[in-house]
Amino acid sequence: MSERAPAPGDLALIESLVNTLDIETGADTLDTPEARACLGLAAGEHLDAVRELRESLRAVLLAHAGHRPHRPVTPLGELLAAAPLVVAISAEDGSAALRPAADPAPLASRVAAAVTEGLTAGTWQRLKACEAPDCHWAYYDRSPAGRGRWCSMSVCGARAKMRRYRARPA
């Protein structure tokens, strides 16, 4: 959907997960083994739980962009509260980071670690969902002021501007 570059660091995982559903067409790539493999889903991870996590993330990304969720969802904090993380300390430089406790890590733990990385780097709030109600595609807002509204100015932005133009009195 978007011509934007992927989100930086581990936020790309969240962006990829949210973008597994094309709201306009209803196509859900989580139904394909390739998409599940790209996300590194463990064999035992239930798709219903992954979809719930995806929609909770979408609601937060909509909030980052100043919009309300498109439907009620389980709060993201509740879903990530059970995601085990550990503090990993680098022997080389002493830097610390939160990492999933298990190897391979369940998706919720990897998402929790990605959120933590984004919070630490100051990039979490720039991961947003498109304002267009028939889109809500995740994107990383690289605009200088951090006020991007659409995943694609040439598609969703142009549609919104055209609707506003047509709605103006003649």
| Domain range annotation of the chain | 11-167
pLDDT tens, residue by residue, 146-155? 888 767 666 6
pLDDT of 158 strictly over 70: no
Spatial distance between the Cα atoms of 28 and 13, rounded to a whole number of angstroms? 16
Whole-structure pTM value? 0.86
Q: What is the pLDDT of residue 168?
A: 73
Q: Is residue 16 classed as helix, strand or coil in its secondary structure?
A: helix
User: Which pLDDT value is given to residue 77?
Assistant: 94
11-167 has which CATH code? 1.10.3300
d(CA 117, CA 96): 11
95 vs 28, more confident: 28
97-125: pLDDT as tens digits: 888 988 777 899 999 999 999 998 999 99
Q: 32 and 133 in contact (C-beta within 8 Å)?
A: no
Q: CA 102 to CA 32: how far, in whole Å?
A: 25
